[in-house]
Amino acid sequence: MSSKYKELQRECYEANMQLEELKLVVYTFGNVSAVDRTEGIFAIKPSGVPYKDLKPKDMVILDYDANLVEGKLRPSSDTKTHAYLYKHWEDIGGVAHTHAMYSVAWAQAQLDIPIFGTTHADHLTSDIPCAQPMSDELIQGNYEYNTGIQILDCFKEKNLSHLETEMILIGNHGPFTWGKNADKAVYNSKVLETVAEMAYLTRQINPLAPRLKDSLIKKHYERKHGKDAYYGQ
Amino acid sequence: MSSKYKELQRECYEANMQLEELKLVVYTFGNVSAVDRTEGIFAIKPSGVPYKDLKPKDMVILDYDANLVEGKLRPSSDTKTHAYLYKHWEDIGGVAHTHAMYSVAWAQAQLDIPIFGTTHADHLTSDIPCAQPMSDELIQGNYEYNTGIQILDCFKEKNLSHLETEMILIGNHGPFTWGKNADKAVYNSKVLETVAEMAYLTRQINPLAPRLKDSLIKKHYERKHGKDAYYGQ
Amino acid sequence: MSSKYKELQRECYEANMQLEELKLVVYTFGNVSAVDRTEGIFAIKPSGVPYKDLKPKDMVILDYDANLVEGKLRPSSDTKTHAYLYKHWEDIGGVAHTHAMYSVAWAQAQLDIPIFGTTHADHLTSDIPCAQPMSDELIQGNYEYNTGIQILDCFKEKNLSHLETEMILIGNHGPFTWGKNADKAVYNSKVLETVAEMAYLTRQINPLAPRLKDSLIKKHYERKHGKDAYYGQ
Amino acid sequence: MSSKYKELQRECYEANMQLEELKLVVYTFGNVSAVDRTEGIFAIKPSGVPYKDLKPKDMVILDYDANLVEGKLRPSSDTKTHAYLYKHWEDIGGVAHTHAMYSVAWAQAQLDIPIFGTTHADHLTSDIPCAQPMSDELIQGNYEYNTGIQILDCFKEKNLSHLETEMILIGNHGPFTWGKNADKAVYNSKVLETVAEMAYLTRQINPLAPRLKDSLIKKHYERKHGKDAYYGQ
């Protein structure tokens, strides 16, 4: 008998499989989820299952408090962070987390990724924020839930909108990205990794490379996302 | 009913597909065009269409003022820059633009790529120029058209010939390359990316690495492009 | 007539073939072994045979003193190191050795790999130790056997447990990893290479990047390996 | 009617095709030759022909003074350097030249590659020499022939044996390697590129990384090449 969440599970499965094709993960070091806002539930990759063994029906279904709704396998260990984001940002449809190389390197360096060029500005107008590691109390407590809090706090502190900046680095850990659906969340993970590598190389070549000037930030973002956008179909 | 531009569309399509094979693009971050000098038009990739969905007939046909001649899809957002180059450099047959990693890194570092070796000298005798970002006025105006102006101004200022130096970096953005046809423009994008990575590594190993000496620049360029060239068939 | 070690040879063969798929070796620069604790023997890759020519039955069988038990080919030149580890660490089931790029680079730099992030902490709580090169007397003596001594000495000196830290760098040489079986040993080689690259990039971005704080080290290790682990199935 | 050099052409062809599989070349930036000592001739790749179009019979046959013996295509532009090496080193059977990334970077940095580890020592006991750029007079003269002189001069100056050190970097240009046959010459190009990348990373991690100590150099070289060698079959 097939799950009533079959379509959602397929969307979630396909987004997870993209992580490997896009070279954003080794082994099982990543996870993507997709939400169904009508049902109030989301699907997420099970924990520690090799990509070659994954099937759409293995995707675990949970509510926004991370209670199990359907599924035989244990969900990703980062599930509570996904749940927290769905609960508090009602307008996102997918979340992705990876340990992609250059994204992790910036997270481990505990630095925001400066906006150096138009590849970055085509997607967001701010630096890519790096949330500083949380306090020991929060780590020892409900850690993954608290990672959700950490993300929202960082956005509040830096005065960022999660609809304009769809990505963050968790200091010493790695990237979380999101978007209108799971596919877009994965896309943002790849964009982040690409921009992270470009910024890395830029600073190696010229440690004093300046940030992109405001007029270029605005122009590139507007031509893709503004009301008179002329990028894409 | 088939387009009268079918052959040109195929040339343009095949050149665009090479960008992905040569690992010069992720997603749709690049575009190639091909010109028909008799008809006074050029074909260019549509904006934001994934490579796997592209078909030769999707290539958009425009004139040198970037007016639409034929096509159902919106052309690349960089179309006006291509048009400007075709209009002012009457002896080029193809133009390519990518966000390839090392080319972008040098562009973001706002530095010319020094001629460090014979791989570079086999293709051009000058450093690879990096055009400084344009003024805010030009950015806020007809941006992509002005990028064309920016390219020609840079060549004038540095006293370069576009027939000898078939590539440029736009500061904070990325590379444009060109050539006698679309295939050669793509070839030059790959050469530029290769030389950009070699120069990056060279300076990491030895920050004081000297430029290639004049006699070697001349020898390598002449053996491939001089009147007694003995490179190639 | 088939070997009584057929199953073990297959396990060993498949683990060796993974080295190439995981891009941990070029040519034959690596070797994996698998032990049979009941029989008191282990299987190891023959020396210098290209991966494409390897067959399961080529795996050489030896005892813990590196005496030949079965096999027509010469065993890996590092065989005595494997034997030493099996003899002295009775609870390991597989050993792997590679010349993977970033692992070797840290070994050649003669530095421990600092624990910078959760990718590292998901697998071990210590820095990845780098054993200093051995004395000239030991090198000129029974070199590969002495490499085994060098590994155990390093663990004793640094007060590490080989069950918690399943990997080491041999200064100026490269990595050895181990685990409950050959598959896990190879997995650890890939984890080490990944962490080595991340740590490399981290220090290039921020030479003063701090080590991961203790509470995060503990949390990530416990969620994967502690008694209430919730990572994996 | 088939060439009497058919076997040699096949050896040469297959060695050239390996350059691409081993990711040592882009486009046609490399060439391999193979010698027939009985006939006093060698086969070499034609100049500028894409790898996908190459056929064994396209390999050009020349004598040690680079006179054409058989072939319809123009030989590699580096042919006279190959010829010079065959003429003066009567015990080599193959020569390879590439523009591989890390090898070229060290050549452009004009530095010898220090022997940092056992991967290097498994193949040669010296640093990998970098020949300084030749004088303007020699460049303007018979350039490729003079590159041969430059190689032999460098070996004489540094007191190296071409049978023990089967590779060199030409300053500002790139690597030449050789060996008992074309296959071994290509193998040495891959070893050089691997060691070049390892040495690059090593110095980035630790600019003060020491050279490998003499006892380890000797041990690793002897176990692979000494009279009691126990590496390989």
Give dist(CA B171, CA A211) in Å, integer.
11
Do residues C192 and C102 make contact, with C-beta atoms less than 8 angstroms apart? Answer: no
Give residue-wise pLDDT tens across range A72-121: 999 999 999 999 999 999 999 999 999 999 999 999 999 999 999 999 99
Do residues B57 and B143 make contact, with C-beta atoms less than 8 angstroms apart? Answer: no
Catalytic residue among A36, A63, A122, A153: A122
What is the rounded average pLDDT for all residues in chain B? Answer: 96
Q: Are strands C94-98 and C174-179 parallel, antiparallel or unpaired?
A: antiparallel
> Does residue C139 sit at the D interface (CB-CB below 8 Å)?
yes
Residue D77 to residue B223, Cβ atoms within 8 A: yes
D42's enclosing H/E stretch is strand D41-44
Q: What is the per-residue pLDDT for D109? A: 98
Distance of CA D1 to the CA centre of its chain: 33
Residue C205 to residue A107, Cβ atoms within 8 A: no
Residue in this structure with the two tokens 């064309």, named with its chain if needed = B148
Do residues B207 and B168 make contact, with C-beta atoms less than 8 angstroms apart? Answer: no
* Mean pLDDT, each 10-residue run in order, chain D (233 residues): 86 97 95 98 96 96 98 97 98 98 98 97 97 94 96 98 98 98 98 98 97 93 86 83
Give dist(CA B196, CA A205) in Å, integer.
11
Among A197, A198, A212, A225, pick the best mutation site for testing chain B contact (most B Cβ within 10 A).
A198
Strands, sheet with A41-44, edge to edge from the N-terminal-most edge strand: A68-70, A60-63, A41-44, A30-36, A94-98, A174-179, A167-170, A130-131
- Which of D80, D85, D78, D70 has its CA nearest to residue D31? D78
Domain residue limits, chain A: 6-225
What single-letter amino acid sits at B15? Answer: A
Confidence of residue C224 (pLDDT cuts 50, 70, 90): confident
In chain D, residues 188-217 whose CB comes closer than 8 Å to chain C: 190, 194, 197-199, 201-202, 204-206, 209-210, 212-213, 215-216
| pLDDT of residue B1 exceeding 70 | no
* Cα pseudo-dihedral B169, B181, B11, B39, rounded to 10: 110
Compute the average pLDDT of residues A192-205.
98
Give me the interface pTM, i.e. the ipTM.
Answer: 0.96
Give residue-wise pLDDT tens across range B12-31: 999 999 999 999 999 999 99
Active site residue A143: no
Q: Are strands C130-131 and C167-170 parallel, antiparallel or unpaired?
A: parallel
> Does residue A118 sit at the B interface (CB-CB below 8 Å)?
yes
Q: What is the per-residue pLDDT for A205? A: 98
Do residues B149 and B88 make contact, with C-beta atoms less than 8 angstroms apart? Answer: no
Question: What contacts D134, CB < 8 A, 6 or more positions away?
Answer: D146, D147, D150
Residue D105 to residue B233, Cβ atoms within 8 A: no
Give dist(CA A48, CA B9) in Å, integer.
47
Q: Which residue of A has its CA nearest to B203?
A: A205
Give dist(CA C75, CA C83) in Å, integer.
12
Q: Which residue of C has its CA nearest to A58?
A: C233
Q: Report in angstroms the alpha-carbon separations of D190 from B195, C149, D94.
A: 20, 33, 14
Q: Which residue of B has its CA nearest to A120?
A: B173
Half-sphere CA count of B213, side-chain side, radius 13 A: 11
More confident residue, A222 or A156: A156
Q: In the CATH scheme, what is the code of domain B6-225?
A: 3.40.225.10
A63's enclosing H/E stretch is strand A60-63
Chain D residues with CB-CB distance to B204 below 8 A:
105, 200, 204
Residue A174 to residue C206, Cβ atoms within 8 A: no
Q: Report in angstroms the alpha-carbon separations of A9 from A91, A182, B12.
A: 20, 11, 39
Give residue-wise pLDDT tens across range C35-77: 999 999 999 999 999 999 999 999 999 999 999 999 999 999 9
Distance to chain B for D118, nearest Cα, Å: 21
